[in-house]
Amino acid sequence: MALDIKNLKYEPVIGLEAHVELCTRTKMFCGCRLSFGEDKNIYTCPVCLGHPGSLPVINRKAVQYAIKIALALNCKIQDYTIFHRKNYFYPDMPKNYQISQYDLPLGVKGHLDVDMGDYTRRVGITRVHMEEDTGKLLHTGTTGRISESEASIVDFNRAGTPLIEVVTEPDIRSPEEAREYMIALRNLILFLDVSNCSMEEGSLRCDANVSVRKKGKEKIGTKTEIKNLNSFKFLQKGLEYEVERQIKLLESGSKVIQQTRHYDSKTAITKVLRSKEEAHDYRYFPEPDLVPIYMESKMVEDIKKTIPELPATKAKRFEKQYGLSIYDSNFLSNDRDLADYFEKCCSCYGNAKNIANWMMGDFSALLNKEKITIKESRVTPENLCRMLEIIDGGKINSKMAKSVFEEMFAAGKDPGKIIEERGLEQIADKSMLEAVIEEVLRDNPGPVEQFRQGKEKALSFLIGKVMAKTKGKANPRMVNEIITKKLS
């Protein structure tokens, strides 16, 4: 059960740190390719393996992508930015420091508006900065857990992958808002074509900082940071657990201790990883092997021009241009592929509301069931429009359309062909329907009498009989009309 925020005496205060792997062709500071689950340690070189004397070079494309993200998040792009070394030891990081940004991040002071249905939460973006990813530790054994493994091996393919960190202000007020923020961030970045943003594959990751305070109080409480939240669901669940834990602590008269905690999805609880005293001192200092970056306004302007229409603007346009409700517009414009599909349909069929209803109803249900995206589906916009035209023309009723659509979805077929093959055409021929109805009325004198005495139920019974006799192909509206006329 979700946390009942409205009835709490406390208010959660949440700030998120998201990491986004960019989908450039090569790594952040060397020419090695990015890898996708291929053999281990095949995309490495002296730079990303941290060999002494090797020199990094900044990936221009990665900087452009980072600027694109910062601009889309309404950030101010700083005129001048540099890289720092963040020093710590871990076996997945051969240099023993990560090249990151510190006091001069690339973008600052932005915001992202998160639609919560009945209100909008504006989440401030503190900073957007560039850094590099680490390698990956793989623990041997069947469970993949470090505690149950005899050895750990390291794969450096990921080391040096361009990474963007997006840090929010502590503006988020519930675990649900946190989840919606991450979904909105993901959707936004997907529009920019700079990352595939998959939480499952780890190209989008998130740490959550959370504290609670008595409702109405200004003063912010002591926070904890939760790591290992690798799905939208776990992000929400981990935060819900943590909010409740903190409230219980405060209610019992104790204090929240500033800690980093680990979310265990198996038990759905958070456990201490380290407390503030054990926190790293990273000894940040400017990276001496890299040049500073001066952001020319012309370059920033050129990048701005490559940003497509973003979800919020698109939703407003859908509302105006196609007369859709806010809800429908938001639904269709949040996902780039859905939005493109919708507009393709609108260019070949006139009733946008009809298109929206099908896309948000039966179509979405089937996509969810098969766990595929609209791009992977076999229903082309042309075929969906064709089906809507056929329904409008009265050839098939909406019940038949449902089953026709299922076959279109499964087999990628033309709806006209399916209707022909299955002999599905709706009977809308008046004389044919009258003949069937005469028969039904003759065979069911009881219900006919009941209807004459004013029993509405008898009408549904008779319509049902006609539908059965025509194998569901009769036009129900016409059947209703003819029976009512005949018996009145």
169 binds ligand ADP (CB under 6 A): yes
Binding-residue total with ligand ADP (CB under 6 A): 15
**For residues 243 and 215, is the Cβ–Cβ distance under 8 A?**
no
Nearer to ligand ADP, 208 or 352 (CB): 208
Closest CA to 120 of 112, 110, 109: 112
Nearer to ligand ADP, 35 or 209 (CB): 209
In the complex, minimum distance from the CB of residue 108 to ligand ADP, in angstroms, rounded to a whole number: 13
Per-residue three-class SS string for 22-91: CCCCECCCCCCECCCCCCCCCCCCCCCCCCCCCCCCCCHHHHHHHHHHHHHCCCEECCEECCEEEECCCC
Q: Helices marked H in 117-194 — which ranges?
A: 175-192
Give the position of tokens 């790293």: 280
**Angle in degrees, CA 403, 405, 407, rounded to 5:** 75
Nearer to Zn ion, 48 or 189 (CB): 48
**For residues 461 and 412, is the Cβ–Cβ distance under 8 A?**
no
15 binds ligand ADP (CB under 6 A): yes
Q: Which of ligand ADP, Zn ion, none does 105 bind, CB closer than 5 to 8 A by kind? A: none
The continuous run of DSSP H or E covering 162 comes out as strand 162-168
Residue nearest to ligand ADP (CB): 15
**Angle in degrees, CA 184, 186, 188, rounded to 5:** 70
Q: What is the DSSP letter of 289?
A: T
230 binds ligand ADP (CB under 6 A): no
Q: Which of ligand ADP, Zn ion, none does 169 bind, CB closer than 5 to 8 A by kind? A: ligand ADP
**For residues 202 and 135, is the Cβ–Cβ distance under 8 A?**
no
How far apart CA 447 and CA 487 sit, in angstroms, is 11
Nearer to ligand ADP, 240 or 328 (CB): 240
Helix or strand or coil: residue 380? coil
Q: At what angle do helices 336-346 and 175-192 cross, to 10 degrees?
A: 60
In the complex, minimum distance from the CB of residue 30 to Zn ion, in angstroms, rounded to a whole number: 3
Q: Which of Zn ion, ligand ADP, none does 15 bind, CB closer than 5 to 8 A by kind? A: ligand ADP
Q: Which of Zn ion, ligand ADP, none does 176 bind, CB closer than 5 to 8 A by kind? A: none
Buried b (16+ CB within 10 A) or exposed e, 39-52: eeeebbeebbbeee
**For residues 294 and 106, is the Cβ–Cβ distance under 8 A?**
no
Instruction: Kindly indicate which of the ranges 25-33, 82-90, 249-257, 431-439 contains the residues binding Zn ion, using the contact rule CB under 5 A.
Output: 25-33
Q: Which of ligand ADP, Zn ion, none does 167 bind, CB closer than 5 to 8 A by kind? A: ligand ADP
- Residue 309: both structure tokens together: 């229409």
223 binds ligand ADP (CB under 6 A): yes
Instruction: Judge residue 209's burial from the number of C-beta atoms within 10 Å of its C-beta, 0-12 exposed, 13-18 middle, 19 or more buried.
Output: buried
| Contact string (CB under 5 A) for Zn ion, positions 28-67, x = contact | --x-x------------x-xx-------------------
Q: Which of ligand ADP, Zn ion, none does 223 bind, CB closer than 5 to 8 A by kind? A: ligand ADP
Q: Which of ligand ADP, Zn ion, none does 30 bind, CB closer than 5 to 8 A by kind? A: Zn ion
Q: Which of Zn ion, ligand ADP, none does 256 bind, CB closer than 5 to 8 A by kind? A: none
Rg for the chain, CA atoms, rounded: 30
Nearer to ligand ADP, 213 or 317 (CB): 213
Residue in 3, 13, 359, 418 binding ligand ADP, rule: CB under 6 A: 13
Question: Can you say whether residue 259 is alpha, beta or left, with left for phi > 0 and alpha for psi between -120 and 50 degrees?
Answer: beta
- The one-letter code for the residue type at 84 is H
In the complex, minimum distance from the CB of residue 206 to ligand ADP, in angstroms, rounded to a whole number: 10
Nearer to Zn ion, 45 or 183 (CB): 45
Nearer to Zn ion, 45 or 307 (CB): 45
466 binds ligand ADP (CB under 6 A): no
In the complex, minimum distance from the CB of residue 44 to Zn ion, in angstroms, rounded to a whole number: 6
Q: What is the DSSP letter of 378?
A: S
24 binds ligand ADP (CB under 6 A): no
Nearer to ligand ADP, 212 or 479 (CB): 212
Nearer to Zn ion, 47 or 478 (CB): 47
Nearer to ligand ADP, 18 or 396 (CB): 18
How far apart CA 161 and CA 170 sit, in angstroms, is 28
| Contact string (CB under 6 A) for ligand ADP, positions 186-215, x = contact | -----------------------xxx----
Helix or strand or coil: residue 229? coil
Residues lying near ligand ADP in the complex (CB under 6 A) are found at 13-17, 167-170, 209-211, 220-221, 223
Residues lying near Zn ion in the complex (CB under 5 A) are found at 30, 32, 45, 47-48
